[in-house]
Structure 1
Amino acid sequence: MAYKLFLDDIRDVNMVYKKLTNNDFVVVRNFHDFKKVIIENGLPELISFDNDLGLDENDLIAEDGYAAAKWLVYESELDLINLKFNVHSANPVAAQQIQSLLDNYIKHLKRENNN
């Protein structure tokens, strides 16, 4: 199933991508649903990451977009060499963490693939 995934607890797609709507993405609001959708449907053609995902059901800070990126890299066992992603988080430090983790991991995979 070809699909795009939008991870954000509050924003809708058209708040980030002016010419797109929630109908253009599978929208998930938390880390748990992020994992569930990818496990059930495979790697999306594009992932758009927010970082700060509010509070969980126990009013604790929820696992964030960086945790989602780390799950992809370290636990998902998916081939991420062709992963397309965007980080739309308003948190500049966390946005850089997500961007750097995924960029560096994809570069590593491409280097390994060329050897």
Structure 2
Amino acid sequence: MTYALFIDDERFPPEDGLSWKIARNARQVEAILTQFGPPGFISFDHDLGDDEPTGHDIAHKLVDGDIGALPGTGYEAGLPLHFRFTVHSQNPVGARNIEALLTRYLEFRKRQTSV
């Protein structure tokens, strides 16, 4: 069964019936990925606290894991075929960066699989 991942250092996910797992930082994201595999849906915050990797850093690792660049980590399982995401960050620049990275990558991946 798939789950949804909520990445935010302060807030909580909406009560919308999804089976949410909450990660407050990059270490918790990797632990959740290792234990449960890739989520079908992720809601990203960008700023995850002082001296912590950002949501953009995590999105980049998800892409790297999907292309096989991070063996031996929680990211190596990649992203599911019908992966979806949203960005709930209040940092507009950070939110746009996450959205752009993942949107471009998912479009590229879709083109590659349809060839």
Aligned counterparts of 2:80 and 2:108: Cα–Cα separation in 1: 10
Aligned to 2:30: 35
Matched residue of 1:48: which SS? strand
Q: Extract unaligned runs of 5+ from structure 1.
A: 56-60
Q: Which has the larger radius of gyration?
A: 1
Q: Extract unaligned runs of 5+ from structure 2.
A: 66-74
Matched residue of 1:11: which SS? coil
- The runs of at least 4 aligned residues of structure 1 exceeding 4 Å deviation read none
Aligned to 1:74: 64
RMSD over aligned Cα atoms: 1.8
Does the CA-based 8 Å contact 1:81-1:106 persist in structure 2? Answer: no
Matched residue of 1:51: which SS? coil
Aligned length: 105
Aligned counterparts of 2:92 and 2:41: Cα–Cα separation in 1: 21
Aligned to 2:113: 113
1:70-96 residue CA offsets vs partner (Å, 9 max, x unmatched): 000013341454211110000000100
Does the CA-based 8 Å contact 1:35-1:68 persist in structure 2? Answer: no
Corresponding residue to 1:63 among 30, 35, 53 = 53
Aligned counterparts of 1:99 and 1:12: Cα–Cα separation in 2: 20
Q: Please give the TM-score of this superposition, normalised by the length of structure 2.
A: 0.82
Letter in 2 for 1:29: R
Aligned counterparts of 1:35 and 1:85: Cα–Cα separation in 2: 17
